[in-house]
Amino acid sequence: MIRVQTEAFDVNAELEKLAAGNPKIGGVASFIGYVRDESEGAGVAAMTLEHYPGMTEKKLEEIAAEAHRRWPLEASLIVHRVGRLEPGAPIVLVATASAHRQAAFESCQFLIDWLKTKAPFWKEEETGQGKRWVEARAADDAAAENWTQKDPAAGPKKV
C-alpha cells in the first residue's frame, strides 16, 4: 500500500492493518523518519516537503514492486507526508511483512534507501538563516547504490 498525504499517521494502526488476517506473516520490520530540529549545524524550525502528485505515487509503486520481486514479502507499506512539518513530526513510515525476519529487515532497508534517492520529493528547511533546499547526500546515494550490487532474487553474482 502506498499513500502520500498531509495528515499525520498512527504507526500502530498502520502496522496492525498491514499484518491483519494474514497468518503467513512471521515478522514485520518498520522504519519511521522524523523531522529533526537541526541540519548541517543549523537549527530547523520546520521542513516543507513537496512532490508531483501522480508521479510520486507511481515511483513509490515501482520501488515497492522491486522489493516484492527481490524478497518473499506478504505485504509492504509506504506512507509519506507532504506539506509543512515541524521538528518531531513523523515524515515517513515504511514497513514490510514476510514469513521470516531477514526478508522483512532487508526489504525495509531497501525501500527506505531507494525512497530517499529515487522518489520525487523536495525538501525545504526553515532555519535561522532563512529557507534552503535540502541537497542529496552522498551517503544516501551510496546506500541506494549498494542495493544495485545485491539482489537476493537473482541468486549469487558471478565473478
Q: What percentage of residues in the chain have a pLDDT greater than 90?
A: 74
53-63 pLDDT tens trace: 999 999 999 99
Query: Mean pLDDT, the chain, as a whole number?
Result: 90
Per-residue pLDDT, 9 = 97
Per-residue pLDDT, 38 = 86
Residues in the chain: 159
Report pTM.
Answer: 0.88
| Domain at 2-148: CATH code | 3.90.1170.40
114 CB-near residues (< 8 Å, 6+ apart): 63, 66, 144, 147
89-139 pLDDT tens trace: 999 999 999 999 999 999 999 999 999 989 999 999 999 888 989 877 777
Domain limits of the chain? Answer: 2-148
* pLDDT of 31 strictly over 70: yes
Grid coordinates in use for 145?
A: 547504490
